[in-house]
Amino acid sequence: LYTASKVYVDNSSVINVSSKTKGNGGEVIIWSEKSTIAKGKILATGGILSGDGGFIETSSRGYLNINELNIYTKSPNGKNGNWLIDPTNIWIKNPGDPTVVLTDVDNFTDPDKDVNGSELDVSKIETAGADITLQATQNIYFEADFFSNLSNSQNITADAGGSIIVTNPISTTKNLFLT
């Protein structure tokens, strides 16, 4: 099985694996060994009449930037789909991270990005149209105030191979699992 060293999905990209009428949404996996930068939009919704949302994975063994990516896996007549965010470490931060451009991931002239993990804008979690699984092989750091207005059917799971470190308030009425 071949794997990509670095992956870049630009901001005009739309990946749509949704069901139209009946059926489940499809599966999208964007994964790299060193650096994944994904922007644009990914849709994996269930059918209008029936079907569950699909599965989206955005991952890297090294650097992961998904702060300009919009995803949607909800289903009008089924269960939400899932968005797996799976780097080495995850830092949940406030908005305002600098934008990364295509030249940041070329194999020839630029040094690799931080291979120890990825920063994630807290608003991506709070507004995602999917159940979210944050799965770090090492640590997850909640370094931003997290005030979530999750719907009754939306879940967020943070699963770390090491530790989950919370330095700012987390406030939600339901559906947040830290393991």
Which amino acid, residue 63?
Y
Residues 6+ apart with CB under 8 A from 49: 21, 22, 77
pLDDT at position 153, please? 60
* CB burial string 93-113: b at 16+ within 10 A, e below: beeeeeebeeebbeeeeeeeb
Residues 6+ apart with CB under 8 A from 136: 86, 87, 88, 89, 90, 117, 159, 160, 161, 162
**Residue in 88, 102, 72, 94 with CA at minimum distance from that of residue 9:** 102
Encoded tokens for 115: 């291979």
pLDDT at position 151, please? 56
7 CA to centre of own chain: 15
| Stretch 98-104: mean pLDDT | 44
pLDDT at position 113, please? 43
Give percent of the chain above pLDDT 70.
80
With a cut of 80, say whether residue 96 has pLDDT above it. no
